């Protein structure tokens, strides 16, 4: 929170590393904002990326601002594309939470995103795969199930809290493979 009471960011990763990364992102954002406010047009693209990464824009706001950008580097395009995937996931979740979208349609959208290799990052990733995996099981999509399970394993690491869930998914995968699908 800044001196005016504006929330600058909410850390998605509540580890020491996550808090340090959020602090570094806030410092970058504040530096870029100061330069942009002083009229430095060379930081507009980087400021937009910083705002995306801090969650300061929703999907509609980001789309409008994105259309105003010029001269993006390949690296900037990649960062923006990744942020847009996260915004799209967040938008879908918000639509489900406000009953504008039913969970089945949201699940199908997530599965289509996964098949198109549009995978969210950060705090969105584990929730995304936790939703896609049951869908892949129900539709008997072994390839998607394997990919999702591997991604989820990498995301949760050796955190024993997730061991029962992973075991259930592994058993489900073995049953799918046993069907010869």
- pLDDT tens, position by position, 57-72: 888 899 999 988 898 9
Q: Does 27 lie in the same domain as 6?
A: yes
Contact present, 111 and 128 (Cβ < 8 Å): no
The predicted-structure confidence for 33-47, as pLDDT tens digits, reads as follows 999 889 988 889 999
Question: Which is nearest to 76 in space by CA: 46, 56, 54, 53?
Answer: 46
Are 56 and 8 within one domain? yes
Mean pLDDT score, 79-103: 91
Of 101, 135, 152, the last residue of a domain is: 101
Q: Which domain holds residue 58?
A: 1-101
Is the pLDDT reported for residue 137 higher than 80?
yes
Same domain, 115 and 167: yes
Which residue among 50, 66, 101 closes a domain? 101
Pair 128, 82: CB distance under 8 Å: no
Residues 10 and 91 in one domain: yes
- Among 101, 125, 157, identify where a domain stops: 101
Helix, strand or coil, per DSSP, at residue 167:
helix
Provide the domain count of the chain.
2
């Amino acid at each position: 929170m800044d001196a005016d009471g504006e929330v600058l960011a909410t850390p998605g990763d509540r580890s020491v590393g996550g808090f340090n990364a959020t602090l570094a992102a806030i410092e970058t954002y504040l530096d870029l904002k100061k330069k942009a406010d002083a009229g430095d047009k060379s930081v507009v693209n980087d400021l937009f990326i910083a705002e995306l990464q801090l969650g300061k824009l929703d999907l509609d706001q980001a789309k409008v601002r994105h259309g105003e950008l010029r001269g993006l580097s390949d690296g900037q395009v990649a960062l923006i594309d990744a942020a847009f995937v996260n915004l799209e996931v967040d938008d879908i979740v918000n639509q489900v939470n406000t009953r504008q979208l039913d969970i089945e349609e949201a699940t199908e959208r997530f599965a289509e995103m996964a098949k198109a290799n549009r995978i969210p990052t950060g705090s969105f990733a584990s929730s995304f795969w936790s939703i896609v995996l049951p869908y892949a099981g129900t539709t008997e999509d072994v390839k998607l199930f394997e990919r999702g399970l591997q991604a989820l394993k990498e995301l949760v690491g050796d955190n024993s809290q997730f061991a029962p869930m992973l075991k259930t998914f592994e058993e489900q995968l073995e049953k799918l493979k046993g069907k010869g699908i």
